[in-house]
Amino acid sequence: MRSRHYVFGALLSVSLLTACTQQTPHTTASTASTHRFFHIQLAGSETQPVSGRLLLFAEETNAAKADTKDGKVTEIDANPFHPTQTAIAAQEIDRLVPGQTIDVDADMRAFPDAWSKLPAGDYLVQAVLDVHHDYNYLGRDAGDVVSQVVPVHWPAADVPTIKLEETVAAKDPWALPDSAPANLRDAAKALREQAQPIDFVSPALTQFWGRDIHMYGYVVLPPGYDASSSQRYPTVYFTHGFTGNKDRLARPMAYVQAGMASGQMPPMIWVFLDESSATGTHEFADSVNNGPWGQALTTELIPYLESKYHMDGDANGRFLNGHSSGGWATLWLQTRYPKVFGGTWSTSPDPSDFHDFTGPDLYADHANVYRKPDGTPWPLVRDKGKVMGTFEQFAKMERVLGPYGGQLASFEWVFSPRGKDGRPEPMFDRDTGDVNPQVVAYWGEHYDIARRLQANWPALKPDLDGKIHLYVGTADTFYLDGAAHRLKAVLDGLGAHAEFRFIPDRTHFDLYKVGDDRFGLFKDISWAMYAVARPQDKVKPKVNQAR
């Protein structure tokens, strides 16, 4: 699943007008409402035309969060933990040249409703031009164009012109924030030179797409690694969750680097894999939409890496670890390719049993992901027991932010059959929440992990029994503990050996905390892997792990 990342900015100037009346998705012929239009102008200081998805964000002044440094609000953005706090409008922009002005209808594509329906009051407004159509995944990233935050009294005939005069610069992927521990900041700086980059062109994926497709990541070698030595090491294949990519791996890489250097983690080779794509996360699944990513990893990239580095090169020395969407990816890889890997330690994985897809049972008659059978909303985001957002709010906000890269659309790019238009068939109707049973039948046949294990256990057992380790918090932010309980029940019913840890009161975001160590679970997991690969080895952690 996802968490909203920070976002940056654009170059435009904006005036608000009351304008014409016309029918939109938010109105009917008999109850048309007055649309609100923004005049958008690309600042004359820009030198090149721009295109992309223009996003407008508005929050009531008293709800906006000020920067803690100077008390000024510098950013208005979508927030899945407060989905209705921010009004969002969107429009596709094709070739806006410097000095050109266009009109943007703030009612046509809007969340949570048409802007003409906003309550009267004082608002802060910001515009962002998403030039890469990846806002749903990365938020504001390098190349996007943003405005200043402008106060607007709503409704009004005129508003101050917004000078959006900044193009977002690329961030240094190795620079951890000052809030990170000093040893991690130092490790990240060292990794800038020491980490081994992966840039592998996959033949299988290239054939699927008809163009070069690269597999990216980094290899982190253990202290004392000597390329001229014959010593070999167990290898961990780690992949990130939703909104991650190769430029957002520095923190876990630094933690592993520091852990091995201090002796608190065993000497192993760690491969940090990028599972992001233009459509979200491909999750290393073999998909009719994204291509054969699992095949590419297991038959191309891993053999390539094992020919280059001193890796064990057998199942007992190949392990998997990932969180969230990365948790699902590693659970999938272990169960789909059980002869390749010696075990997965999957944390807070996306739904592994589609009878509980963050709550809704997709297989139920007349299934609906917006409403329970009693008509109440399906929650999707919670914090400390409080519902922060519903499935419907999340889906409709994602739809306005853009058609690519959102979490729910990403599931469809992985799991769905391909439609006649070349895009994956939607699993559910975005207006009503009604589930398409034909699409769900395809999902279940191909990607429901619990169902696959139940149907094929006699054949899978010799290579898979004892290799599944799943950890999730009982207060998981996205209700992912529900599907984990179902998977455990299936495996228990099969008499399988598997480890499930339901960590009391832990959420999606603090699951790895052990004592005062925010990422301490990495240490526990690494030693469990090492014990499988080197059962007779006397190497032990230098300090006892806090529980």
How would you classify the pairing of strands 87-96 and 110-111? Answer: antiparallel
Return the SS3 of 405.
Answer: coil
φ and ψ at residue 425, rounded to 5 degrees: -70, 135
Query: How many helices (H) and strands (E) in the chain?
Result: 13, 24
| CATH topology identical between 13-21+34-167 and 182-353+448-533 | no
The percent of residues above 90 in pLDDT, for the chain, comes to: 80
* pLDDT band of 124, cuts 50, 70, 90: very high
User: Cα separations (Å) of 329 from 268, 383, 414, 425, 479?
Assistant: 21, 25, 11, 21, 18
Residue 137 has pLDDT above 90, yes or no: yes
Mean pLDDT of 88-99: 90
Each residue's pLDDT tens digit, 279-294:
999 999 999 999 999 9
Tell whether the torsion through CA atoms of 54, 60, 63 and 67 is positive or negative: positive
Q: Which CATH class is domain 13-21+34-167?
A: mainly beta
Residue 7 has pLDDT above 50, yes or no: no
Residue 20: CB atoms within 10 Å: 10
Each residue's pLDDT tens digit, 147-206:
999 888 888 767 667 777 889 999 999 999 999 999 999 999 999 999 999 999 999 999
Residue 64 has pLDDT above 50, yes or no: yes
* pLDDT band of 543, cuts 50, 70, 90: low
Predicted confidence at residue 2, as pLDDT, reads 46
Each residue's pLDDT tens digit, 454-480:
999 999 999 999 999 999 999 999 999
Average pLDDT, the chain: 90
Give CA 539 to chain center in angstroms.
36
d(C-alpha 126, C-alpha 422), whole Å: 34
> Lowest-confidence range among 44-53, 250-259, 380-389?
44-53
Residue 17 has pLDDT above 50, yes or no: no
- Residue 541: both structure tokens together: 């952690």
Predicted confidence at residue 494, as pLDDT, reads 98
Predicted confidence at residue 135, as pLDDT, reads 96
* Listed residue (503, 507, 469, 473) closest to 487, CA to CA: 469
Domain 182-353+448-533 annotated CATH 3.40.50.300:
no
Mean pLDDT of 59-67: 86
Residue 24 has pLDDT above 60, yes or no: no
Each residue's pLDDT tens digit, 66-75:
876 788 999 9
Residue extents of the structural domains in the chain: 13-21+34-167, 182-353+448-533, 379-446
Residue 237 has pLDDT above 70, yes or no: yes
Strands (E), 70-221: 87-96, 101-105, 110-111, 121-130, 145-146, 150-154, 166-167, 196-201, 214-220
Each residue's pLDDT tens digit, 494-525:
999 999 999 999 999 999 999 999 999 999 99
Residue 542 has pLDDT above 80, yes or no: no
* pLDDT band of 334, cuts 50, 70, 90: very high
Residue 14 has pLDDT above 50, yes or no: no
Predicted confidence at residue 37, as pLDDT, reads 81
Residue 385 burial by CB count (10 A; 0-12/13-18/19+): exposed, middle or buried?
exposed
Top-confidence residue, 218 or 6: 218
Residue 65 has pLDDT above 70, yes or no: yes
Mean pLDDT of 89-98: 91
Give CA 12 to chain center in angstroms.
29
- Cβ density class 418-455: b for 16+ within 10 Å, e for less: eeeeebbbebbeeeebebbbebbebbbebbbbbbbbee
- Residue 363: both structure tokens together: 């297989």
Each residue's pLDDT tens digit, 344-382:
999 999 999 999 999 999 999 999 999 999 999 999 999
Q: Are 55 and 135 in contact (CB under 8 A)?
A: yes
Each residue's pLDDT tens digit, 401-451:
999 899 999 999 999 999 999 999 999 999 999 999 999 999 999 999 999
d(C-alpha 521, C-alpha 327), whole Å: 14
Predicted confidence at residue 23, as pLDDT, reads 34
d(C-alpha 43, C-alpha 141), whole Å: 19
